[in-house]
Amino acid sequence: MKKISFIELAVKVLEEEKIPLTAFEIWGIAEKNGYDKLLGSQGLTPRDTLSAQVYTNAKKPNSAFIKIGIRPVKFFLKSLNQDFDIEIKLNEDQAKKDKSKKFNYSEKDLHPILAYFGRYYLNAYLKTIDHTVSTKKAFGEWLHPDMVGCYFPFEDWSKEVYTFNSVVGNIPIKLYSFEIKRELTFSNIRESFFQAVSNSSWANEGYLVASEIAKEEDFLSELKRLSLSYGIGIIQLDIINPDSSEIIYPAKQKDFLDWETINKIVALNSDFKNFITRITKDIQVKDVREEEFDKILGIEELVLTK
């Protein structure tokens, strides 16, 4: 099988996706499609290597890439840019319409509703992860989600079954990752989705969460396609009746945790480090300290206005 370079890999992904992508998004799609196995040499941090090479290459006059946007910088192919101009214009027009829409609540206001939903409908304890306490923010771009959660089996299993499971070396906790948006529309679905993909690579299940989701048939079809392709679940929160919140598309469960990424996030974010420390202690003593996770509010305290 012919080996390819990082630049050739990036070109291949962009040719197939036909949309501007960040370097990290390019690597995520390459991994998902198995293209990373075509590389002649990966090195210790292939995602960072690809990012560095694409950034450097894009500065050359004869580069195949063009840079689009600033935060985050996305890359596209010069050969496809003419065809994409119309789509860029449509997305810009939609973004302007969406920006003019006023919300009476912030994404942060959705955290208590998700904590409530997670506790009573996923049997999980959730914790908010504050991005502002992270170190090396540029290095950790799109690395950790807005909220994380843990399901503890000893709350549902008999003592004998849990003890036996522990003895054979398989304590089946389930770790969740949640990326939260106020709304999902055509103007933000791809960036939001790949942000969720990047942020959830370490967890057993990853979810993209929103209170408002566009109802157009084409949009829902694309949302379903992305969910099935990348295993990211979709949760819609009901800000008027939190008990009516629902999982629109379930996440694909991964049997193994990504320990390298968990280790990286622990080093970058103290909230996540405290979360890992907390659940470790809870597992050891077989008792969950609820006060160490996000507080579960009553229904009357959760209701928001649109």
What pLDDT digit, counting tens, does each position of 230-270 carry?
999 999 999 988 999 999 999 999 988 888 889 989 988 99
17 and 122 fall within a common domain: no
* Residue 36 falls inside a structural domain: yes
CA–CA gap between residue 250 and residue 208 (Å, rounded):
10
Least confident of 116-130, 190-204, 224-238: 190-204
Looking at the fold, whether 45 and 160 belong to one and the same domain comes out as: no
The model's pLDDT over 55-79, given as tens digits with 9 standing for 90+, comes to 889 888 889 888 876 557 788 888 8
pLDDT of residue 137: 53
What tens digit of pLDDT does each residue of 142-179 get? Answer: 677 899 999 987 665 666 666 666 655 566 789 999 99
pLDDT greater than 60 at residue 89: no
Q: Rounded to an integer, what distance in angstroms lies between the CA atom of residue 108 and that of residue 76?
A: 32
Tell me, yes or no, whether 172 and 78 share the same domain.
Answer: no
For the full predicted model, state whether its pTM sits above 0.75: no
Residues 147 and 283 in one domain: yes
CA Rg value for the chain:
21
Domain of 22 in residue numbering reads as 6-85
* pLDDT at 277 (0 to 100): 94
Which range has the worst mean pLDDT, 8-17, 164-173, 212-221? 164-173
In a domain, 190, yes or no: yes
What average pLDDT score do residues 186-206 get? 89
How many domains does the chain fold into?
2
- pLDDT-based confidence at residue 90 (cuts at 50, 70, 90): very low
Q: What is the pLDDT of residues 17-58, one digit of tens each?
A: 888 888 889 999 988 888 888 887 766 788 888 888 898 898
pLDDT, greater one: 140 or 267: 267
Stretch 262-290: mean pLDDT: 89
Residue 287 vs residue 86, higher pLDDT: 287
Q: Are residues 79 and 200 in the same domain?
A: no
* CB 208, CB 181: distance < 8 Å: yes
| pLDDT score recorded for residue 170 | 60
Instruction: Please provide residue 69's backbone torsions phi and psi, each rounded to the nearest 5 degrees.
Output: 85, 180
Collapse the DSSP code of 238 into the 3-class scheme (helix H, G, I; strand E, B; otherwise coil) and give the result.
coil
Strand (E) or helix (H) holding 55: helix 46-58
In a domain, 95, yes or no: no
- Do 12 and 132 sit in the same domain of this protein? no
Residue 139 pLDDT more than 80?
no
Residues 77 and 112 in one domain: no
Tell me what pLDDT residue 299 has.
82
Instruction: Give 217's pLDDT tier (boundaries 50, 70, 90).
Output: confident
The closest alpha carbon to 184, from 174, 194, 175, belongs to 194
Angle at 35 between CA 32 and CA 38, to 5 degrees: 150
- Using a pLDDT cut of 90, give the percent of the chain over it: 32
Do 280 and 155 belong together in one domain?
yes
